[in-house]
Structure 1
Amino acid sequence: MKFAKKMMAVLALVPGLVFAAEGTFPLDRAPERHDLASLQNGAKLFVNYCLNCHSASAMRYNRLRDLGLSEEQIKNNLLFTQDKVGGMMTTAMRPDDAKAWFGAVPPDLSVIARAKSSPAGSGADYLYTYLRTFYKDDTRPTGWNNMVVPNVAMPHVMWQLQGVRAAKFEDQKDPHDPSKVVHAFAGFEQVSPGTLSAQDFDAATADLVAYLSWMAEPAQNQRKRLGVIVLLFLAGFAFLTWRLKASYWKEVK
């Protein structure tokens, strides 16, 4: 019994420990995108930029039919690693090669949007901020670093879209201890432009994050719609019960 209580206490601290290990950079709120056009664009970005290194082994390609795509569209536009539309979204990269190149095996992204939820924000907020805060850092093996995950192993795979940015830091007094000086982040500087404007890149990232959130729970939109129907039914049933009660006690009196 004591062991179980200790394990529960440790598990309760895990999300906070994970967040602390990845830094405390403030998270931006991810725009909510539920329309099919955004989710379809997010699926295209995922296949083109994420699936080269990451897998989504809990997701089948043919599940993308829920986003309004036909099997023919999936096969012609999104299926590059295998011939079967019913196959899993896996990467051809071998784990040993990934570890040699990046120092770590890229995680599976099937439920990454749910796994990254923390007291600081939702998993969508985390991913939206993370994907938009890469900057050039020649001291890193990949040449890139990230504000959300300092010393990240992953390179900036969408740098051609966003362009190359440098992070500016300046010495400031510690707000908690004025006698100390901290090296604080002071913004980004655009070194070279990308193929998208800053607004368009943010919109594309929002589409990608929306797809990752959908992939983590494909039935979430249906679940939400069903929840609204159930609540409306319960509200109507409660109203009828209230009127029946009033009618019954009226006769008793």
Structure 2
Amino acid sequence: MKKLISVMMFLALMVPAASFAAGPAVKVDKANVDVTNTASLQRGARYFVNYCMGCHEAQYMRYNRIGRDLGLTDDQVRDNLIFTRDEFGDPTRVGALMKNAYPKRDAAEAFGTAPPDLTLVARVRGEDWLYTFLRSYYLDENRPMGVNNTVFPNVGMPHVLWELQGFQRKEVVGKDARGHDEVRFELVQSGSMSPAEYDKAVRDIVAFLSYMGEPIQTERKMIGIWVMLFLFIFTIIAYLMKKEYWKDVH
């Protein structure tokens, strides 16, 4: 029994170590998003409903929650963020969950797999991964959609933001310390945005996805600060009380 416990403890320690040693499959860029920037989140929400919700859903989030957190009225949410209808053909209500009307069976047939729900994607993939992924599409004539991605090779998702970024070509320029390809992108067809503007737009999208994965994160951090401050003050008071109670004992 002791030997079995020792083996289990060894494996429990080795698995995280092996994962850490493996590291990420590709080099990712820092997103540096700011979930406290309301204007950035509003722009990200606009991009999300216009470019992502044609296929993806955010079925664990409600439109009116986004409006409340991002400083938007119900009318603003209805006019700028809702473009779907319910099962009866009526406009989706502001209090509804963020679903789309694309049947998963049809989506799986079109893309090889049903597009995943994106409510928690920032918590699963990470902000840096998403930021790099949305900037790493390149032309590839061997792919059904004509594009590929260095972060997610052979991904079924097309380059939905091509209208903003344009199209770019990938060039392998060397290897990094881990043996991964170092690539350089060359813009061969311009989009409606400059590279700097597109990077900012992607950062807004990632910021919105990060907010959506944990809408209470800013409030949670503030509560944490107040809790730590309370514990610090309480510790001082408890120490002074201890000295007062025990001063006559010694």
Q: Please give the range of the TM-score, normalised by the shorter of the 2 chains.
A: 0.7 to 0.9
Establish whether residue 99 from structure 1 lines up as the match of residue 100 from structure 2: no
Q: CA deviation at 1:175?
A: 6.6
3-state SS of paired residue (1:85): coil
Which among 167, 170, 182 is matched to residue 167 of structure 1? Answer: 170
- CA distance in 1: counterparts of 2:49 and 2:150, whole angstroms: 25
Change beyond 3 A, Cα 1:184–1:223: closer
3-state SS of paired residue (2:45): helix
**Partner residue in 2 for 1:240:** 237
Q: Conserved in 2, the CA contact under 8 Å of 1:169 and 1:183?
A: no
Deviations along 1:178-209, whole A, 9 cap, x unmatched? Answer: xxxx8934311110122112111111111111
Q: Conserved in 1, the CA contact under 8 Å of 2:26 and 2:180?
A: no
Deviations along 1:64-104, whole A, 9 cap, x unmatched? Answer: 11111111100011110032111111111111221221111
Q: One-letter code of the match for 1:165? A: Q
Q: What are the ranges of 5 or more consecutive residues in structure 2 without an aligned counterpart?
A: 86-90
- CA distance in 2: counterparts of 1:212 and 1:109, whole angstroms: 8
Establish whether residue 78 from structure 1 lines up as the match of residue 81 from structure 2: yes
Provide the alpha-carbon RMSD of the alignment: 2.8
Structure 1 segments, 4+ long, off by >6 Å, are 173-176
- CA distance in 2: counterparts of 1:103 and 1:173, whole angstroms: 31
What count of residue pairs does the alignment treat as equivalent?
232
**Partner residue in 2 for 1:52:** 54
Establish whether residue 131 from structure 1 lines up as the match of residue 137 from structure 2: no
Q: What are the ranges of 5 or more consecutive residues in structure 1 without an aligned counterpart?
A: 117-122, 177-181
Q: Conserved in 2, the CA contact under 8 Å of 1:114 and 1:216?
A: yes
- CA distance in 2: counterparts of 1:135 and 1:250, whole angstroms: 74
Change beyond 3 A, Cα 1:28–1:175: closer
Q: CA deviation at 1:249?
A: 3.9
Q: CA deviation at 1:238?
A: 1.0
Write out aligned runs for 1:103-114 (5 A): 103-114=112-123
Percent of aligned pairs sharing the same letter: 45
Q: CA deviation at 1:225?
A: 1.0
**Partner residue in 2 for 1:213:** 210
Q: One-letter code of the match for 1:158? A: L
Which among 83, 91, 98 is matched to residue 89 of structure 1? Answer: 98
- CA distance in 2: counterparts of 1:73 and 1:139, whole angstroms: 43
Which shifted more, 185-194 or 148-157?
185-194
Change beyond 3 A, Cα 1:239–1:47: same
Which among 40, 43, 66 is matched to residue 41 of structure 1? Answer: 43
- CA distance in 2: counterparts of 1:147 and 1:125, whole angstroms: 14
Q: One-letter code of the match for 1:146? A: N
Establish whether residue 188 from structure 1 lines up as the match of residue 185 from structure 2: yes
Q: One-letter code of the match for 1:24? A: A
TM-score, normalised relative to structure 2: 0.83
**Partner residue in 1 for 2:226:** 229
Change beyond 3 A, Cα 1:173–1:191: closer
TM-score, normalised relative to structure 1: 0.82
Q: One-letter code of the match for 1:29? A: K
Deviations along 1:1-21, whole A, 9 cap, x unmatched? Answer: x9xx7xx97xx68x95xx99x
Q: CA deviation at 1:244?
A: 2.3
Change beyond 3 A, Cα 1:169–1:224: same
Q: Conserved in 2, the CA contact under 8 Å of 1:52 and 1:93?
A: yes
3-state SS of paired residue (2:172): strand
Change beyond 3 A, Cα 1:47–1:175: closer
